[in-house]
Copies of this chain bind each other. A is one copy, B any other.
């Protein structure tokens, strides 16, 4: 908390999918400030309305950033406070927010973070991957040479620690294909984190291409450090599949064997077909 009650730039984290992933302090601050500087005024408008926040919103993006900085500095100099938010999650790396924060800091104003949802931290926390630290690499570059260097970077960083990056659905298959040349070990994919169809799936890059034939939603990819033995990432044993198949049949969560196979697959990151094959191979299906 800043000592003075005036002229502070608050950098406020906002939800990444579920609107209830908002902190009590973030709500208070957004209500209290004189201005909310936002990347996408429409998306931020939805969030503010959800929490009955009527603070005016100012659009800040790459193309008007410099003029906006002057305007925000003017407000702060008058003793007013401003909140900076991005579309979703914690403002910071590679978004227009960083340069704005730097400019405000250079002006001698207090900048205060209001922590909250963050896709990288959320993905790691649910992954079960053990690592001393991690490297976050944003989105892979699209073009040839940069992209090649980027994959080399993934390989290098992945020798020492967990590597996390994002990918858009329409680029996922190409990225998994390219990744399969560099990474042969099982990785973990988080899809639609904090949203209704959230799922975490593990497999080698090639296996994941089969698992997501037509990808939807937002993807967070996690590559465990080389040589790490992590029980949640190892190949699923037949015993595990049969055990879960028996358990789900028993509790009556699904009525047909095919539905049970789908349920089991969903939980273990396999396709229903893969589960069915394992069960058949072990002669539990008549």
**A128-B112 CB under 8 A given contacts A24-B20, A25-B21, A133-B135:** no
Contact A196 B25 (CB under 8 A): no
Q: A77-116: which have CB < 8 Å to B?
A: 77, 90-94, 97-106, 108-116
**A108-B240 CB under 8 A given contacts A22-B23, A131-B94:** yes
A193 close to chain B: CB less than 8 A: yes
A60 close to chain B: CB less than 8 A: no
Q: A253-283: which have CB < 8 Å to B?
A: 253, 264, 267-268
Q: Which residue of B lies closest to A241 (CB)?
A: B108
**A116-B117 CB under 8 A given contacts A23-B23, A131-B93:** yes
- Give every chain B residue within 8 A of A109 (Cβ-Cβ): 267
Contact B129 A98 (CB under 8 A): yes
Interface size class of A (residues with CB under 8 A): 35 or more
A35 close to chain B: CB less than 8 A: no
A168 close to chain B: CB less than 8 A: no
Contact B92 A124 (CB under 8 A): yes
Contact B194 A94 (CB under 8 A): no
Contact B91 A125 (CB under 8 A): yes
The complex places the Cα of A106 from the Cα of B268 at a distance, in Å, of 8
Contact A132 B94 (CB under 8 A): yes
Q: Which stretch from A11-19, A38-46, A174-182, A208-216 is at the chain B interface? A: A11-19
> Which listed residue, B120, B157, B195, touches A121 by the CB 8 Å rule?
B120
**A1-B232 CB under 8 A given contacts A121-B90, A135-B133, A157-B135:** no
Closest Cβ–Cβ distance, residue A253 to chain B (whole Å): 8
**A113-B102 CB under 8 A given contacts A25-B18, A25-B20:** no
A173 close to chain B: CB less than 8 A: no
A200 close to chain B: CB less than 8 A: yes
**A13-B121 CB under 8 A given contacts A106-B232, A110-B267, A116-B116:** yes
Contact A108 B244 (CB under 8 A): yes
Contact B101 A126 (CB under 8 A): yes
- Give every chain B residue within 8 A of A231 (Cβ-Cβ): 102-103, 105-106
- Give every chain B residue within 8 A of A20 (Cβ-Cβ): 23-25, 28
A285 close to chain B: CB less than 8 A: no
5 more A-B residue pairs beyond the given contacts A98-B128, A103-B232, with a C-beta to C-beta distance below 8 A: A92-B127, A105-B128, A108-B267, A111-B126, A135-B135
Instruction: Provide 20 A-B residue pairs closer than 8 Å at the C-beta atoms, listed in order of the A residue.
Output: A1-B194, A20-B28, A21-B116, A23-B117, A24-B24, A92-B124, A93-B134, A98-B129, A101-B127, A105-B231, A105-B232, A106-B231, A106-B232, A106-B234, A112-B198, A113-B193, A114-B194, A134-B135, A135-B136, A135-B161
